[in-house]
Amino acid sequence: MLQILCHLRAHVLQANSIWMRRMATLQQVIRGCRVPRAPQRPSAPRLNGAPLRRAVCDRKPNSAQRKVARVRLSCGRKVVAYIPGEGHNVQEHAVVVLRGGRVQDLPGVRYHIVRGAGDVQGVVERRKDQWKEAVLRR
């Protein structure tokens, strides 16, 4: 019983010391330590805080190296979204589902089209795979 009490006392003291370290002293408060943080900007502002949003492809997707499509969200706004994976079947007027997430080497592209949702197929056959490539070389 005594061991349990000692253990609890040590635990409470440890918790109190952590709490005391986090609290600002009166002098720090007078100096102005409590500065309000600036609100964080969302990485995908057009989703309005939603994890996913339905959209319609506004025009034909670009067939360049970087696969992007200009889509119109259900709220009426138009954004550029990236089509991940190899190959796609996205056409004009296709209903797609968007998620947030930028594309590092494409400025201004802050959205991804979800594969396998809406009118978009999942990735059918991945070719760029290190393991398969090694097997093919032999």
CATH number at residue 104: 2.40.50.140
CB 73 within 8 A of CB 66: no
Same domain, 50 and 104: yes
Q: Is residue 129 part of a domain?
A: no
In angstroms, rounded to a whole number, what is the distance separating the alpha carbons of residues 29 and 1? 42
CB 56 within 8 A of CB 96: yes
Q: Give me the pLDDT at residue 102, please.
A: 84
Same domain, 27 and 54: no
Average of pLDDT values for 35-55?
79
Same domain, 7 and 55: no
Q: 26-30, 43-47, 85-89: which has the highest mean pLDDT?
A: 26-30
Q: Is residue 37 part of a domain?
A: no
pTM of the model: 0.57
**Hunting for tokens 């590092």 — which residue is that?**
104
Same domain, 23 and 63: no
Q: Is residue 94 part of a domain?
A: yes
Domains contained in the chain, number? 2
Same domain, 24 and 61: no
Q: Which of 29, 109, 27 is nearest to 62 (CA)?
A: 109
pLDDT in tens, 12-33: 555 555 555 578 888 888 888 8
pLDDT category at 8 given cuts 50, 70, 90 is low
User: Which H helix or E strand runs over 79?
Assistant: strand 78-82
Same domain, 25 and 75: no
**Per this entry, what is the length of the chain?**
138
Of 91 and 64, more confident:
91
Of 65 and 120, more confident:
120
Domain that includes residue 19, residue range: 2-31
